[in-house]
Amino acid sequence: MDDRYGQDVLAPGWQKAGRIAIPRQEATRDLVVEDVATGFCGAVVRVEKNIVTLEDRRGKLRLFPLGGGFLIDGQPVVLVNPTMAATKTRARTASGSFAVTDAPARVARASRIFVEGRHDAELVEKVWGADLRVEGVVVEYIEGVDNLAELLAEFQPGPTRKVGVLVDHLVTGSKESRIADAVARGPHGRNVLVVGHPFVDIWQAVKPARVGLTAWPKVPRAIEWKHGICQALGWPHDDQADIARAWQRILGQVRTYADLEPDLLGRVEQLIDFVTVDRH
């Protein structure tokens, strides 16, 4: 007669018999997991003292204890601290390039990158700042592209004193495209590169999902674009201080190049190459 109760319950290993083993998963950066209890889904941004910080697609941060209660692609896992090998991988900058450590400060090159406004400069600094410091490249904002020809005449570009210019709304038939064409045909054209993105303003170069949108709102041409965006989003927009706070709110959601549109990424990389490769 079979023993319906099986072996002696005091026998070693009886507690694990028939149980499904839940795999352990190291909580490495950018791993996307879901917390079962709350339904919160996000990417790992840091692990400190057995606490993992997750960031969802809207930029919201939540802290959870490591251990069970997480899902990856719908399957349960136990999150554990990353191993030393995982934490000691070579660091990358916000632009995606390998970080250079212990490099001596480099004297600034004579070459420059010009951008139209303060917001453009702040975004370039946040994502490419580490790379630019290693290369010794200074970014200056010029308060609009209308006075570019005058600025170039004052700067006097040359083979070792080149200028890369990033402009907004560089599309066929725009004012910006006519200015870029005139510079290319002008006396400094050989040592100046003007490139641009198709967006009305640098704000649009940030992926809309970073601020909880599926797409940036369309703003009528009669309304100043930044004010129109703030109005559409329900943000204060009465004065320039409101606009500045709105931009800081957007900029705060940018962590790496992955938060920006490819149309901007390629152009900035192109400018960095142009001003750092010496052609005599």
Query: Can you give the CATH number for the domain in which 147 is found?
Result: 3.40.50
pLDDT digits (tens, 9 = 90+) for 214-227: 999 999 989 999 99
Residue 195 has pLDDT above 90, yes or no: yes
pLDDT band, residue 15 (cuts 50/70/90): low
Indicate whether 147 and 179 sit together in one domain: yes
Indicate whether 115 and 154 sit together in one domain: yes
Mean pLDDT, the chain, rounded, equals: 85
pLDDT in the model for residue 91:
64
pLDDT band, residue 161 (cuts 50/70/90): very high
Indicate whether 38 and 110 sit together in one domain: no
What single-letter amino acid sits at 22?
I
Neighbour-count burial of 13, counting CB atoms closer than 10 A to its CB (0-12 exposed, 13-18 middle, 19+ buried): exposed
Contact 77, 33 (CB under 8 A): yes
* Number of domains the chain contains: 3
Q: Does any domain span residue 14?
A: no
**Domain boundary residue, one of 87, 103, 137:** 87
Residue 226 structural domain:
207-253
- 119, 156, 158: which is closest to 139 by C-alpha? 119
Q: Does any domain span residue 1?
A: no
| DSSP character string of 205-241 | GB-GGGGT-SSPPP--TTS-HHHHHHHHHT---SSHH
**Nearest-angstrom CA–CA distance, 17 and 36:** 25
pLDDT in the model for residue 5:
47
Residue 74 has pLDDT above 50, yes or no: yes
Indicate whether 191 and 217 sit together in one domain: no
Residue 69 has pLDDT above 60, yes or no: yes
pLDDT in the model for residue 45:
85
pLDDT digits (tens, 9 = 90+) for 79-125: 999 886 555 555 667 766 666 666 665 677 899 999 999 999 999 99
pLDDT band, residue 131 (cuts 50/70/90): confident
Q: Does any domain span residue 11?
A: no
**Nearest-angstrom CA–CA distance, 56 and 41:** 6
Indicate whether 175 and 71 sit together in one domain: no
Structure tokens at 114: 């010009």
| DSSP character string of the chain | ---TT-S-TTSTTGGGTTPPPPPEEE--TT-EEEETTT--EEEEEEEETTEEEEE-TTS-EEEEESEEEEEETTEEEEEEPPPHHHHTSPPB-TTSSBPPPSPPPPPPPS-EEEESSHHHHHHHHHHHHHHHHHHT-EEEE-SSSTTHHHHHHHH--BTTB-EEEEES---TTSHHHHHHHHHHHSTTGGGEEEEE-SSSSGGGGB-GGGGT-SSPPP--TTS-HHHHHHHHHT---SSHHHHHHHHHHHHTT--SGGGB-HHHHHHHHHHHHHHHS---
pLDDT in the model for residue 246:
95
